[in-house]
């Protein structure tokens, strides 16, 4: 089955052919998944609520902060005027990202100067909901994956460097 992440008919077909559905990608449409789960009764061990956090960069950063984990400084940006205010608050360098849907550099714009702000304002995407994040110097990026089975056994996979 080859389809987009929000294709309800394709997800229904997959659910009807499967014992359970899992996801490892935050761009799965949570509303579609919830409807398909309810209609077909397919098991979704991760649940759908997790996507509410991971599919929205603002929700994700607020969730992390609520649980005592540090994040870079950030601001919600829903308009060109809000971008100007956010840049004044956070300064340069920064990165503007779509709140959802972006992945591996897609839906991201470097904001390193007033010229970058001007360029962004001139080509502002229609209906853009974004987050401006203060850029952080880092030595490396890693991924940590944890899984839990139906018996509540938790497995930590080896940490990998991206």
What pLDDT is attached to residue 75?
98
Give the contacts of 107 (CB within 8 A, at least 6 positions apart): 97, 98, 101
- In which band, very low, low, confident or very high, does the pLDDT at 46 lie, cut at 50, 70 and 90? confident
Q: Residue 52 is encoded by which pair of tokens?
A: 């509410």
User: What pLDDT sits at residue 98?
Assistant: 95
Q: What is the mean pLDDT of residues 5-32?
A: 92
User: pTM for this structure?
Assistant: 0.82
**Per-residue model confidence as pLDDT tens digits over 50-73:** 888 988 999 999 999 999 999 999
Residue 141 pLDDT > 80:
yes
Q: Per-residue pLDDT for 102 more than 80?
A: no
Give Cβ neighbours of residue 43 (< 8 Å, ≥ 6 apart). 19, 20, 21
State the pLDDT at residue 114: 97
Confidence at residue 28, expressed as pLDDT on a 0 to 100 scale: 87
Contact of 106 with 123, CB cutoff 8 Å: no
Give yes or no for residue 12 having a pLDDT over 90.
yes
Q: Which residues contact 145 (CB under 8 A, 6 or more apart)?
A: 156, 157
Distance CA(49)–CA(124), nearest Å, equals: 31
CATH numbers and ranges of domains, the chain: 8-55 (no CATH), 72-134 (3.30.1490.20)
Q: What is the DSSP letter of 57?
A: H
Contact call for residues 122 and 152 (beta carbons, < 8 A):
no
Cα separation, 31 vs 48, in Å, equals: 8
> The tokens of 40 are what?
């077909």
Instruction: Name the pLDDT band for 26 (thresholds 50, 70, 90).
Output: confident
């Amino acid at each position: 089955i080859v389809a987009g992440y929000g294709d309800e008919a394709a997800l229904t077909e997959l659910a009807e052919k499967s014992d359970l559905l899992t996801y490892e990608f935050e761009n799965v449409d949570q509303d579609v998944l919830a409807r398909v789960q309810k209609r077909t009764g397919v098991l979704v061990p991760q649940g759908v609520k997790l996507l509410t956090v991971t599919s929205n960069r603002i929700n994700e950063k607020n969730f992390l902060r609520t649980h005592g984990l540090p994040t870079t400084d950030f601001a919600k940006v829903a308009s060109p005027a809000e971008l100007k205010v956010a840049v004044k608050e956070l300064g340069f360098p920064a990165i503007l990202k779509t709140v959802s849907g972006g992945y591996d550099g897609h839906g991201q714009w470097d904001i390193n100067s007033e010229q970058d702000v001007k360029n962004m304002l001139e080509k502002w995407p229609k209906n853009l909901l974004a987050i401006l994040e203060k850029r952080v110097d880092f030595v490396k990026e890693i991924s940590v994956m944890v899984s839990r089975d139906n018996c509540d056994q938790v497995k930590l996979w080896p940490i990998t460097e991206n």
